[in-house]
Amino acid sequence: MVPIPCCRPNNSCRSNNIRRLGSACIEANAVPGAIQHNKRMVSSEELAQTAMQAAHHAGFDLAGIAPVEREALPELHAFIEWVDAGHAGEMKYLETRTETGELRRVAAKNAAPWVRSMIVCALNYNADKPYSMDVNDPERGWVSRYAWGAKDYHDALLSRLRQVEAALKDAAAANDLALETRSYVDTGPILERVYARHAGIGWMGKNTCLINQKMGSWLFLGVILTSLELPVGTPAADHCGSCTRCIDACPTDALIAPGKLDARLCIAYLTIEKRGSIPVELRSGIGQQIFGCDICQDVCPWNRKSGNAPPTSLPEFQPKEGLYYPELRALAQMDEESYRQAFRGSPVKRAKYAGLRRNVAIAMGNSGNQKFIPDLESMARDSDPVVAEHAEWARKKIVP
């Protein structure tokens, strides 16, 4: 969840925050709907700048345009190898295929056959709170930074993408130019980080996250597929160098090589996507994480360098009460209706009620805090056998 100097209110689209794009005129009849406007041809650069300006006005911190041809995106082949190696774990939605047997996510045209370029927008969600590596309260559990907001980030981004779409459609209509668009925020068969890199927004770090030299990696991504062939950005250069802090910091050794993640070992996968029992040998490494994990981003120098990764001022990404570093006991004692109310509209609901209780039990066990014994004894009698088993494991970890 995947990539950028922040677009300040007085910055223009000529800054490197929203990147300038090379010019290329749309010749009459060269692409569907190309026309003349006021006795001259509208250029693809003008349309691209319209989109970039709209992204700026919509509040995005960065935007760029990426190609969609597979030959221009070598990372797509790496995704095929990743899936074939079984590294997606139980995330079968990543393995959906076309009628010809091709993985849907290896080509944008599988989602929209008419797509000719992709607009990628990034929004900073970094709330002004400490990193997980900088806190240590044995009575609390960690919820990943991206899930703190009071508003579902899908809605926050999609409403802004719609503004960009509207501006582009207005410009196209004014020039009698045919246009199709489609927006996605984590909802389509699109590998957003790949396109973000080729749009010039950031590079894919050794932790597999999209990283920018100024904005760091606390970025939500949204994309707009368009039938216009717009001039594309320059792929962002890699600035990880010899650093391996993310790889070294991963408690479960999920980063099996630079830029290669085995999701089956990743704490984010285990606490969000994994259903049922978590392998015993991985439970201690989960530590205090109860939903997602930020460790490989917390230690990244591009998120810690002075002046980098600025805090967001957007109200929808400010921590909702109970989501920043919540008390484990309160979560353990929460019934299902209270859970639904507390996490309404929150990504935390993806873990499900039983999944969150399972994760809370593990965090309690890893805390070593004997105050949790009564709660764990109660959870060990839970009607859900997975919750009960994890609670019993945690109880025995505290008092063997």
What is the DSSP annotation of 124-146?
Answer: E---SS--GGG---TTB-EE-GG
Element (H, E) at 81: helix 75-84
Longest Cα separation, the chain:
83
Is residue 222 within 8 Å of 183, Cβ to Cβ? yes
- Confirm whether 298 is a catalytic residue: no
Q: Which amino acid is at 367?
A: S
Structure tokens at 179: 């246009």
Is residue 284 within 8 Å of 253, Cβ to Cβ? no
Is residue 185 within 8 Å of 154, Cβ to Cβ? yes
Is residue 50 within 8 Å of 56, Cβ to Cβ? no
Q: Where are the beta strands (DSSP E) in 126-234?
A: 142-143, 181-184, 203-204, 210-211, 219-226
Structure tokens at 79: 């995704």
Q: How far apart are CA 87 and CA 366, in angstroms?
A: 26
Q: How far apart are CA 77 and CA 106, in angstroms?
A: 7
Residue closest to 4 by CA, chosen among 258, 230, 218: 218
Structure tokens at 260: 């290669």
Catalytic residue among 186, 248, 335, 375: 186
State the pairing for strand pair 289-291/142-143.
parallel
**Which residues are catalytic, by number?**
186
